[in-house]
Amino acid sequence: MTEAHHLRHYLTKKSLIGAVALGLGLYHLVLVSGVVAVSTMEMRLTHLMLAFSLLFLDRPLTKSRAGTPADRWISVVLIVAMVGASVWLLSRWKAIAFSGGLTEPGDFYAGAIIVIVVFEAARRGVGAILAAITLIFFVYPFVSPYLPGLLNSRGYSFERIVVFLTTDTQGVYGIPIGVAATYIIIFTIFGSLLSTFGAGDFFFELSRRLTYGTRAAGAKTAVLFSTLIGMISGSAAGNVAVTGTLTIPMMKREGYAPHQAGAIEAVVSTGGQMMPPVMGAAAFLMAEIVGVPYVEIMGVGLLPALLFFGSIFFIVHLQAVKIDIKPTAEDSKDTRSTWQVILDGSRFIATFALLLGLMLTGYSPFKASFWAIVFLVVSELVWTRDFNLAFIRRLAEGIAGGARNVAPISAACAAAGIISGTLAISGLGPKIAILIDLASGGTLWLALLLTMVAAIILGMGLPTTAAYLILATVVAPALVKLGMPMLTAHFFVFYYGCISTITPPVALAAYVAAGIAGSDINKVGWTAASYGLTSYLLPFAFCFGPGLLLQGTAMENGLAVVTACAGTFAIATAITGCFTRPLSWPHRIVAGIAGAMLLFQGLVTAMIGTGLLIVLFALERFRTQTSQHI
């Protein structure tokens, strides 16, 4: 009887989560379609109300208290409080806006409830670290009159702060939650539907066919597969969980050690957040914060993403040469020809082509993704010719899955709204920029180094989206003040927020890969960090070389492409210690220096790097010929 009761409760909760998620997804799809039009504030209020309701249903109070009466009752209270406060503000926001910001006691009470709920949503959805960081910024206006020096300010009352954060578009309902309610949710639904309809299986089989019969085919399949799957999912740990179960065993069978297989998968999965056209959620936020079209973000991110994946591709090949992995051809149960595989996946290729085409012709990203979703659903229906209850269920699961994925992102965006709102009202933002300027002595190199450390540390405890939002609000303005272009500054912090997932001691993507590979997490983490060495140098390189972001002249861009590719190969040679045969340490050091010189844009550095690389290759050729004669 007790087991039956628990089963009924589980099924009821699962159905409720599915219903709320489906409702959230359909609400935004209807809005994007243009069938229903609501104001910006109404959309953001409704989005956060539904997203938080979904989050509290989906995430327990703590893991140890999951399913307990306390967990259920606290979650219900939070949902009721959030819905009640949101409905109040929905009924009041026009009056507040038209009166020039005049509020009444009920607005303060509703706002206080929302602020409290945001803290708990951030803790459940993202983690205690984000909640703690948000709390520190929230408390600042109350303690600032008692702080010394630059941090001292006039201070504000609790009511003033709460009302500002919840009734103004510079707080909880600011740009971050606006992006979550437009760009991000539509793209997460798009990615979820692609996965539901089998795009992941197609990408894996296509990657396997393209690397069939080559040296280290399994590892190269992992690189290509993660490059493609990264266009669906922007989560590094999620990419590892999806692709690693297929690729890590393949690499181990080929001869890679478990820690090497796990490290390769962790690195390539991290690149999914950087790979256009569908980059991580932080990229959409960057477009809105910087004020440039998302298409421009895609263009800027293209070459660094290709260099990232090219670097790991070189590494897996050279590592295979070093440990003498022979070309193999794994048997497959799939008897289709490669052309048949491509034909069967043509609807997915066409969907991405439509998405890119619409964005390049001027459609907004969320409008382009909406029509890509429509095309995907119609093409899936035409391909399967099976419109029935099962198809409708798959469609509903895909939409609900995308909505569930956006709930924790919305929590991070709401918390970031509190941080940015506090910075705005208290004047702390400019003061932090001054502190960074003073700490770096006005030297851009040192400011970048400090920013890199901050980005990696934040990224260890936070998802990329949350880490980027904090850095974009707090640190990026300081880099801009030192003379860096705004887009470059934001891309710098975004990039390091991404690669923090492979940076020990807390390397989330490496930890997931280590579990699948059955290897030590620290060994996988440090190996992944070494394999990703190019990605640690790239942000510094593109800060001083606009060609790497394809923002220079045609000659600068062309030179950057050639030298960066050569530099990436040289660094891969230094990391693996192999060219056509194992290298000595002096030769590895020369290769590393040559690679760094080629990576950093400039005619002099390119000439030095090219000269060193030519000398190295000549020495290796001489060594090979000498050993053959002996």
Q: What is the DSSP string of 276-291?
A: SSS--HHHHHHHHHHT
Q: What is the pLDDT of residues 311-328, one digit of tens each?
A: 999 999 999 989 888 776
Question: Higher confidence at residue 515 or residue 457?
Answer: 515
How many residues make up the chain in this entry?
630
Q: Give me the pLDDT at residue 436, please.
A: 83
Q: What is the pLDDT of residue 330?
A: 58
Q: Which residue has the tokens 């690499």?
A: 251
425 vs 232, residue with greater confidence: 425
**Domain endpoint, select from 417, 440, 473:** 417
pLDDT at 595: 94
Region 63-69: mean pLDDT is 86
Helix (H) or strand (E) holding 536: helix 533-544
Residue 524 CB partners (closer than 8 Å, separation 6+): 259, 262, 263, 266, 507, 510, 511, 513, 514, 517
Statement: residue 246 has pLDDT above 90 = no
How far apart are alpha carbons 604 and 598 in whole angstroms? 9
Task: Name the percent of the chain lying above pLDDT 70.
Answer: 95
Quickly state the pLDDT bin for 300 (edges 50, 70, 90). Answer: very high
Q: What pLDDT, on the 0 to 100 scale, is given for residue 485?
A: 92
| SS3 of residue 582 by DSSP | strand
Residue 391 included in any domain? yes
Range of the domain at 575: 552-630
Residue 289 lies in a domain: no
Q: Average pLDDT of 156-184?
A: 92
The reply to whether 522 falls in a domain is: no
pLDDT at 242: 74
- Does position 238 have pLDDT exceeding 80, yes or no? no
Question: What's the number of CA atoms in the CB half-sphere (13 Å) around residue 131?
Answer: 15
Average pLDDT (369-378) is 95
Nearest CA to 283 out of 468, 416, 462, 452 is that of 468
Question: What span, in angstroms and rounded, lies between the C-alpha atoms of 37 and 168?
Answer: 21
| Cα 411 to Cα 54: distance, rounded to the nearest angstrom | 11
The pLDDT score that the predictor gives to residue 378 is 95
Residue 619 in any domain: the answer is yes
Tokens representing 284 are 């959409």
Tell which of 417, 439, 467 closes a domain.
417
Is the confidence at residue 234, as pLDDT, over 80?
no
452-477 pLDDT per residue, tens: 888 887 777 677 788 888 888 888 88
Give the residue-averaged pLDDT of 506-516. Answer: 85
Judge whether 494 and 459 are in contact, CB under 8 Å.
no
Q: What confidence tier does 3 reach under pLDDT thresholds 50, 70, 90? A: low
pLDDT of residue 25: 96
Domain boundary among 417, 438, 459: 417
First to last CA, the chain: 81
Q: Within the chain, how many helices (H) and strands (E) appear? A: 29, 0
Mean of all residue pLDDT scores within the chain: 88
Give the mean model confidence (pLDDT) for residues 277-285.
82
pLDDT interval class at 6 (50, 70, 90):
low
Tell me what pLDDT residue 1 has.
43
Number of structural domains, the chain? 2
Of 194, 206, 381, 404, nearest to 278 (Cα)? Answer: 194
DSSP letter for each residue of 23-60: HHHHHHHHHHHTSS---HHHHHHHHHHHHHHHHHHHS-
36 with 181, same domain: the answer is yes
Report residue 439 CA to chain centroid gap: 29
Tell me if 60 is assigned to some domain.
yes
Q: Is residue 577 part of a domain?
A: yes
Give the model's confidence band at 4: pLDDT under 50 very low, under 70 low, under 90 confident, else very high: low
Does residue 138 fall inside a structural domain? yes
- Let me know whether 557 and 413 are in one domain: no
Q: Which has the closest alpha carbon to 577: 589, 560, 594, 593?
A: 589
Check residue 461 and give its pLDDT.
Answer: 66
For 173, residues 6+ apart whose C-beta sits below 8 A from its C-beta are 41, 44, 45, 48, 166, 417
Contact predicate 218/398, CB 8 Å: no
Q: Does residue 570 lie in a domain region?
A: yes
User: Is the predicted pLDDT of residue 9 greater than 60, yes or no?
Assistant: no
Across 542-565, average pLDDT:
90
| Share of the chain residues as helix, strand and coil, in percent rounded to the nearest 5 | 80, 0, 20
Lowest mean pLDDT among 281-290, 321-330, 530-539: 321-330
Tokens 């703690």, located at residue:
132
- Of 1-10, 22-31, 242-251, the least confident: 1-10
